[in-house]
């Protein structure tokens, strides 16, 4: 794993996050998450309601309209055998079962991906609010929270909507395959191996996408990466931190799976998500995502920035030394040149007289060595 980290870490695109300069902006994400829940319980509840509003179309279709449509579909079907001599009735149990499963598949195909895409708009606003709470930004009132929520939608909807649309398409494949397997078991007693492979593969891909999402969602609101850098960094962190990512993703996916335990448990889970579940789900993702990004992106960025500053300082000192050294060298060359020329000029201006020239009243020697006495 260490070798894999050394191999992939240099490919991470580095950038400073958007966090304010405060003590609560970084470090201790689990402790900070607990503080957010304790100090902002009312705002977490209000944020959960706001986010759930964007999930209401999907809830209305799959939880309210689908059961009503199923009841209407089988209302006129006969689920009993012949009632006696002279009066026969056709048992439509298998037809009813097939019709119900087909209707469920139709509703899943038409609603799951678009509904999750709409939900992605609400998640964009919620992630902005939760990010600010985790960074220690003060949100005083519900009106103030609405401003942060709207700002998050305006800034990040185009990032979260494609993510939830892709997740919805993968989930549609898995849900459709699951219903097909159940339908074939109910009708024929077993399902073919191809349907099992299709279902298992779809849910495995969906789980891997969730492990990718827990890095991509927080990174999309905490940094200003381009789309390709956002995807690349999320994939690299997903690979490097595969074990903790799987644990967190399994915990997040395990909460909805509790609904399979029975109707009572299902309604309890529904109530939990309506009150706090969605905000808590996003809060866990944000806390873990910020922890992972701080451990790699922020630290590597700070290290590279420090190295660049040291290099720039060394270059600056080198540049300061070079002009002074060159100036001294130039001055010495100029002084040597002046001394040399002075000695040459001095030889032409003054020359001691010898022999017969000693008695001359005034004899000068020009630079060509001509003696002219007092004459020019």
* Encoded tokens for 129: 């609010």
Task: Determine the Cα–Cα distance for residues 310 and 331; give it in Å rounded to an integer.
Answer: 32
Of 15-24, 102-111, 290-299, the one with minimum mean pLDDT is 15-24
Q: What is the structure's pLDDT at 102? A: 95
What percent of the chain shows pLDDT beyond 90? 53
Q: How far is CA 363 from CA 141, 286, 357, 366, in A?
A: 107, 102, 7, 10
* Average confidence score pLDDT of the chain: 84
Q: What is the structure's pLDDT at 340? A: 52
Task: Determine the Cα–Cα distance for residues 90 and 338; give it in Å rounded to an integer.
Answer: 126
Of the candidates 324, 170, 179, which has an alpha carbon nearest to the alpha carbon of residue 253?
A: 170
Q: What is the structure's pLDDT at 347? A: 46
Interacting residues of 338 by C-beta distance below 8 A, sequence separation 6+ = none
Q: What is the structure's pLDDT at 267? A: 81
Q: What is the pLDDT of residues 188-221, one digit of tens each?
A: 999 999 999 999 999 999 999 999 999 999 999 9
The neighbour count for residue 205, using CB atoms within 10 Å, is: 14
Q: What is the pLDDT of residues 25-67, one digit of tens each?
A: 887 888 999 999 998 889 999 999 999 999 999 999 998 999 9
Of the candidates 245, 241, 172, 176, which has an alpha carbon nearest to the alpha carbon of residue 208?
A: 245
Q: What is the pLDDT of residues 61-88, one digit of tens each?
A: 998 999 999 999 888 777 665 555 545 5
Q: Is the dihedral of CA 269, 274, 275, 280 positive or negative?
A: positive
Q: Domain limits of the chain?
A: 28-80+92-313
Task: Determine the Cα–Cα distance for residues 200 and 202; give it in Å rounded to an integer.
Answer: 5
Q: What is the pLDDT of residues 312-369, one digit of tens each?
A: 888 888 888 775 554 454 555 545 545 555 554 444 444 444 444 444 443 444 544 5
Q: What is the pLDDT of residues 233-270, one digit of tens each?
A: 999 999 999 999 999 999 998 877 777 767 788 788 87
């Amino acid at each position: 794993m260490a070798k894999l980290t050394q191999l992939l870490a240099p490919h991470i695109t580095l950038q400073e996050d958007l966090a304010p300069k405060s003590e609560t902006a970084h470090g201790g994400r689990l402790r900070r998450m607990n503080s957010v829940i304790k100090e902002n319980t009312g705002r977490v509840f209000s944020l959960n309601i706001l986010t759930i509003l964007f999930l209401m179309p999907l809830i209305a279709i799959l939880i309210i309209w689908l059961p009503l449509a199923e009841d209407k579909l089988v209302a006129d079907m006969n689920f009993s055998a012949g009632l006696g001599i002279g009066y026969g009735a056709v048992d439509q149990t298998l037809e009813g079962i097939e019709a119900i499963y087909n209707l469920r598949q139709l509703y899943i195909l038409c609603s799951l991906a678009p509904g999750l895409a709409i939900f992605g708009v609400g998640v964009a606003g919620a992630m902005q609010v939760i990010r600010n709470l985790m960074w220690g930004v003060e949100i005083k009132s519900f009106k103030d929270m609405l401003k942060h929520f709207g700002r998050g939608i305006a800034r990040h909807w185009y990032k979260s909507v494609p993510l939830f649309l892709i997740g919805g398409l993968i989930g549609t494949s898995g849900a459709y395959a699951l219903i097909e397997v159940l339908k074939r078991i109910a009708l024929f007693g077993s399902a073919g191996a191809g349907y099992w492979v299709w279902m298992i593969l779809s849910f495995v891909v969906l789980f891997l996408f969730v492990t990718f999402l827990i890095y991509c969602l927080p990174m999309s609101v905490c940094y200003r990466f381009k789309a390709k850098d956002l995807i690349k960094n999320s994939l690299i962190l997903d690979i490097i931190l595969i074990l903790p990512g799987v644990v967190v993703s399994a915990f997040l996916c395990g909460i909805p799976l509790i609904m399979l335990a029975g109707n009572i448990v299902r309604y309890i889970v529904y109530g939990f998500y309506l009150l706090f579940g969605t905000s808590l789900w996003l809060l866990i993702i944000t806390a873990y995502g910020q922890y992972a990004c701080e451990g790699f992106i922020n630290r590597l960025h700070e290290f590279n920035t420090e190295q660049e500053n040291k290099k720039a300082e060394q270059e600056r000192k080198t540049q300061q030394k070079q002009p002074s050294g060159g100036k001294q060298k130039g001055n010495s060359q100029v002084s040597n040149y002046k001394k040399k020329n002075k000695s040459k000029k001095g030889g032409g201006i003054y020359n001691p007289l010898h022999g017969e020239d000693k008695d001359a009243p005034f004899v000068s020697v020009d630079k060509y060595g001509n003696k002219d006495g007092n004459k020019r």
